Structure 1
Amino acid sequence: MTPPEPIAAPASPEPVAPPASPEPPAASASPEPVDGPALARNGGDLVVETLTALGTDVLFGIPGQHALGLFDALSRHAGDVPPDRGGSIRLVASRTENNAAFAADGYARATGRPGVMFVSTGPGALTALAGLQEAYATSVPIVLISSQIPRAGLGGRRKGFLHQLDDQRRSAENVVKHSELVEHAAGIVPALQRAWRTALTAPQGPVWVEITQDTLLEPTVLPPVADVSGAPEPLPARAELLDLAAQWLAGAERPVILAGGGVRRGRAEAELLAVAEAVRAPVVCTPGGKGAFDWQHPLSAQSWVEDVATTELLADADVLLVIGTSLGEVTSNYFTLRPRGRIVQIDATARVLESNFPALGIHADAKLALAGLAERLQPRASDGRAEDAVETLLEIVEGRLDGQDLAHERGVLGAIRAALPDDAQTFWDMTIAGYWAWSCWDPRSGEFHSAQGAGGIGWAYGAALGAAVGLGRRVLAVNGDGGAMYGIGELAVARQHNLPVTWLIVDDGGYGILREYMTDAFGAPTATELVRPDFAALAEAFGVPATVTTPETLREDLVDAWLAEGPNVVVLPTRLAMFAATHLGT
């Protein structure tokens, strides 16, 4: 995104420093009536009032020097929201900014509402970027408000402010949908309104708004914010494209549907079901799309995207309907997929259309496009061929797994699934257990979440904490021991807020999936073995109960953890192996 033209810095006033004493400055006093002689509200008040009016109930972040005006304002407004508007804004202060971004991401995935976060200038803002990359890659709505140095110092490090970057927005623009800088109080409400709408408009994603320190602290005559809306803009499909897509599907003999994360982000599950049943098409879900289609439905080909049988089912379709996925590396079975029929590709992100295969590209929200297709399709009677194709595929997958020495791994994943209620929301890190779950996990009536968008390690625990805050009920996070170390400090957050998260740490002594990759590619691993702490003792040092389990007692220990109060940790010392690669041509 091209930055705006630089704005000339005024010679005065001098940069406003943060409060130097515990006594609040005049700008932080209790708000006076709008017509009073000394209205003592500031830009920070406008930020918090706007977020409140937009429906924010939880906020993640960490204070910092230039952001103190945000947090000071939050302290004045957090408790005054009427109950019919969601209650007070709850601040959940993470221990690192990337985990705050993971928490905002998990909150948004679990609730469908934007995750909101405050960060400070420079190092704090930069540390959040890894978390935003996952949200950007997976189209998760986040509204991040960052502080910025005072206006007089913008435009390069001319004055040498602490934390200053030459161009902070430019650092963020690679991992957000939209960014803007606010330098005056009048711009705060419109910027946040745009941010909220942009984050929620398909394709959803993170948005960056930075506000200068003096704008946050200076008094304002603007009245309290009450009338603001951030409703997303619709992204319908063009009628002529839907007409042609429906014509192709109606005439198809072997239609197949591939449902990606865009179906879930768009809440298009009912529309997907209607289209699948109308054309009698098997449905394969990508890891991100897992849960978009009932796992046990007769047309469900489940999620075994890394098995050659699934790759062949997709390749053999005479019409392949692809919704909410780019048909990228994992979904195409590492680019071994070679479709032989027509492709209809629906996606809210225009740049992914035809990015890997020629297709009838339809730029649209998944829900609106699928609803339009369903209206145009006449349901056909089942001749049993689609159901037979699904049954054959799943039998092939089962037989292939039976032919490998995987009873231990299948037992561990089975024990986790058996221990949790049907409606459990689960969060899986980039670890062998998570890779297994991409393929084999049945989310039932719950939701499955993983970091497969950007693939960053350490995501699961922070995301699960955000989800637990938003849902107000227990969730599960699954990490390996390597990924667990990225979030270990967040145990303090879990304890401080008594968050109902069960954290399963599969401790195999290193980066297990990288160990497998290197062994397969080079014959031996390098730099994958790790010194790690006694995770149970470390958790208990934070005041978080912990249990060391075994594969035989895993189910029972997880049930006990699920029924407990507050946070807890279950440590499973074991090594898991991946099922053998089954790409086309191997």
Structure 2
Amino acid sequence: MNSTALSPCCEEAPVRLAPRQATPTCGEALVTLLERYGVEFVFGIPGVHTVELYRGLAASSIRHVTPRHEQGAGFMADGYARVTGKPGVCFIITGPGMTNIATAMAQAYADSVPMLVISSVNARRELGSGDGRLHELPSQRDVFAGLTAFSHTLLDAADLPQVLARAFAVFTSQRPRPVHIEIPLDVIVAPAPGLAGTPVVFATRPAPDAAALKAAARRLATAKRPLILAGGGAVQAGEALRALAERLQAPVALTINAKGLLPPGHPLLLGSTQSLPETRALVREADVVLAVGTELGETDYDTLFNGGFAIDGQLIRVDIDAAQVMRNFRPDVAIVGDAREALAGLGAALEESVLSAPSHAWGAAGVTAVRDAIAASHDAPMRAQALLIETIADALPGVTVVGDSTSPVYVGNFTFDAHAPRAWFNSSTGYGTLGYGLPAAIGAKLAAPQRPVVCLIGDGGLQFTMPELASAVEAAVPVIVIVWNNHGYGEIRKYMSARDITPVGVDPYTPDFIALARGFGCAARTAADPAALREALEDAQASRVPMVIEIREADWFARVID
């Protein structure tokens, strides 16, 4: 049969839709409302089930970015959201487009990242029919209910403003997580007169309870060994956190997503070392622990999976999520509300109190002892990889480093102190996916084009999403991609060997990354030592196209390790 007689599956077969209306459609009203909510970018791959969402997009202020896979769309939206604090928005096709983006939604869900996924779905009369229609799932909404704050089917165009308001209430006033809104094909094209003019209202975050703040302040005021654990939920509360820590002389440990809340070199900063014995011992010595905006979960507090993290003192927890306050470690005082307001409220309450004198060797002295002991325990490969990250930070002031699950990122999670919040994040926490780094870095660069953005990724992870280099070239996003090449899944290889398992499946073929990068339209080069890396980074800063810098682990270790 002549190929022109077939509709390619990836482009989908034509769908019968209603004639074009003179009145704005639901799809057009959606674009206008998204503009009014401040949406700057939409990430997606158009298909015949979503083209009506695009009808008003070209005339809007919203820029569309086309990834090479819907998973890439989700990771781009994630990177954009982490840098800005605003939701990343995706337009996704019914069925396979949604199952493709599922991993990105799960990563965002695990890390409390705001993401709005708007998809098509089959027409209302066809929902759940099982007729074998194009892209049909038994219930698309049910598939994604567990990956979202909520998943909603828009059955009437008139309900669009209300559903969007619910979504943005999640993003601005609750624990931020993905929201999925699916719009049936017949609803997308339904007339929607007046919807675009519906007033937009942003919900505010709940204030913490005054009595709970006072109860917590009383415990902190009498503490002789106070300590603070801060997570990504406190990312907007840096000033209040620093003021409170300094008043209490409390050591501060930060989760990966909270890096930068205290600046590098701050005398009370423990870093992100809660999984290491030295920091764990200090936490157990604390008589009062204040945990702010943190799950107290495994991927920040037990990355070695040995179950050794414990809190022996009194525990005060602050979180915007009432359920999370009671998970993992049950508190003595629970404060539900905005982290910034809670920390400011605690600071104000303590101003009226006479604080107990800190115990000897607590505060800055205790932090110094812990950090010195941890630094002394680093082996040569770890120091060599820490030097890689230090070189990046030194060569690119103000850099945002977006990481994947790869060895130097694991090292940086322990050793690197970011210069500001939202400047170091990666997929090694929470859901822990591979392939995140490149598309997320593209989203981060779109969010902050004036800043240098580096993707730090392994050779295995890059092969998951390498086609997104073409997306970066097409979108004119000069992101810098540093590939740590250890010729396979090096961390899993070591993990298997440590358990006396003969390594299998961890040595995939490694392509020529330099040739592939140039084929995608990127600049590309190798760097074998810090001087060569610095030179490459300086060239990348001046480049108008993405640059891929390959670092071969064996070469780097040979040059750097004495």
Q: Structure 1 length normalisation: TM-score? A: 0.87
Matches of 2:396 and 2:201 in 1, distance apart?
Answer: 36
Aligned to 1:128: 101
Matches of 1:121 and 1:230 in 2, distance apart?
Answer: 29
Kept after mapping to 2: 8 A contact 1:462/1:490:
yes
**Identity in percent:** 33
Kept after mapping to 1: 8 A contact 2:86/2:171:
no
1:563 and 2:542 matched: yes
Which moves more between the two structures, 306-315 or 411-420? 411-420
Give the total of aligned pairs: 532
Aligned to 2:41: 58
1:430 and 2:409 matched: no
Aligned to 2:279: 310
Aligned to 2:496: 518
Aligned residue among 249, 257, 261 for 1:288: 257
Aligned residue among 553, 556, 559 for 1:574: 553
Deviations 1:182-238 (A, max 9, x none): 022111222112212222223111111110111112333x12613432413322222
Matches of 1:295 and 1:523 in 2, distance apart?
Answer: 40
Matches of 2:292 and 2:84 in 1, distance apart?
Answer: 22
Aligned to 1:11: none
Q: 1:492 to 1:292 in 2, by over 3 A?
A: same
Matches of 2:234 and 2:142 in 1, distance apart?
Answer: 31
Q: Alignment partner of 1:207: what SS? A: strand
Deviation at 1:426, TM superposition (A): 1.1
Matches of 2:179 and 2:36 in 1, distance apart?
Answer: 18
Q: How does 1:106-125 map to 2 (within 5 A)?
A: 106-125=79-98
Aligned to 1:223: 194
Matches of 2:38 and 2:112 in 1, distance apart?
Answer: 20
Q: What RMSD over aligned residues (CA atoms) do the two structures have, in Å?
A: 2.1
Matches of 1:41 and 1:167 in 2, distance apart?
Answer: 29
Aligned to 1:461: 438
Q: How does 1:51-200 map to 2 (within 5 A)?
A: 51-75=34-58, 77-78=59-60, 88-157=61-130, 159-200=131-172
Kept after mapping to 1: 8 A contact 2:393/2:399:
no
Aligned residue among 528, 533, 554 for 1:550: 528
Deviation at 1:131, TM superposition (A): 0.3
Matches of 1:116 and 1:406 in 2, distance apart?
Answer: 37
Q: Alignment partner of 2:56: what SS? A: helix
Deviations 1:527-556 (A, max 9, x none): 111102111110111111111221242222
Read off the aligned partner of 1:26 and give its amino acid letter: R
Aligned residue among 358, 373, 380 for 2:330: 358
Q: 1:295 to 1:232 in 2, by over 3 A?
A: farther
Kept after mapping to 1: 8 A contact 2:109/2:147:
yes
Kept after mapping to 1: 8 A contact 2:299/2:430:
no
Matches of 1:288 and 1:253 in 2, distance apart?
Answer: 28
Aligned residue among 208, 211, 227 for 1:237: 208
Kept after mapping to 1: 8 A contact 2:209/2:335:
yes
Q: 1:388 to 1:538 in 2, by over 3 A?
A: same
Deviation at 1:511, TM superposition (A): 1.1
Q: Alignment partner of 2:299: what SS? A: coil
Q: How does 1:497-536 map to 2 (within 5 A)?
A: 497-536=475-514
Q: Alignment partner of 1:409: what SS? A: helix
Read off the aligned partner of 1:284 and give its amino acid letter: A
Deviation at 1:17, TM superposition (A): 6.5
Matches of 2:384 and 2:51 in 1, distance apart?
Answer: 51
Aligned to 1:26: 20
Matches of 1:554 and 1:109 in 2, distance apart?
Answer: 27
Read off the aligned partner of 1:568 and give its amino acid letter: M
Kept after mapping to 2: 8 A contact 1:464/1:476:
yes
Kept after mapping to 2: 8 A contact 1:93/1:493:
yes
Deviation at 1:273, TM superposition (A): 1.0
Read off the aligned partner of 1:291 and give its amino acid letter: G
Q: 1:525 to 1:415 in 2, by over 3 A?
A: farther
Q: 1:42 to 1:487 in 2, by over 3 A?
A: same
Aligned to 1:6: none
Aligned residue among 426, 433, 439 for 2:414: 439
Read off the aligned partner of 1:419 and give its amino acid letter: A
Unaligned runs of 5+ in 2: 1-12, 558-562
Deviation at 1:387, TM superposition (A): 1.0
Unaligned runs of 5+ in 1: 1-15, 28-38, 79-87, 578-586
Aligned to 1:9: none
Q: Structure 2 length normalisation: TM-score? A: 0.90
Matches of 1:49 and 1:42 in 2, distance apart?
Answer: 11
Read off the aligned partner of 1:293 and give its amino acid letter: L
Aligned to 2:392: 416
Deviation at 1:285, TM superposition (A): 0.8
Q: Alignment partner of 2:205: what SS? A: coil
Deviation at 1:306, TM superposition (A): 2.8
Matches of 1:216 and 1:18 in 2, distance apart?
Answer: 13
Deviation at 1:410, TM superposition (A): 3.2
Kept after mapping to 2: 8 A contact 1:53/1:227:
no
Q: How does 1:207-356 map to 2 (within 5 A)?
A: 207-220=179-192, 222-223=193-194, 225-264=196-235, 267-333=236-302, 334=305, 335-356=307-328
Which moves more between the two structures, 338-347 or 548-557? 548-557
Kept after mapping to 2: 8 A contact 1:305/1:330:
no
Q: 1:162 to 1:489 in 2, by over 3 A?
A: same
Q: 1:445 to 1:162 in 2, by over 3 A?
A: same
Which moves more between the two structures, 346-355 or 128-137? 346-355
Which moves more between the two structures, 231-240 or 526-535? 231-240
Q: 1:530 to 1:230 in 2, by over 3 A?
A: farther
Deviations 1:24-64 (A, max 9, x none): 9523xxxxxxxxxxx33211111111111111111111112
Q: How does 1:343-422 map to 2 (within 5 A)?
A: 343-359=315-331, 360-378=333-351, 380=355, 385-401=362-378, 406-421=382-397
Aligned to 2:560: none
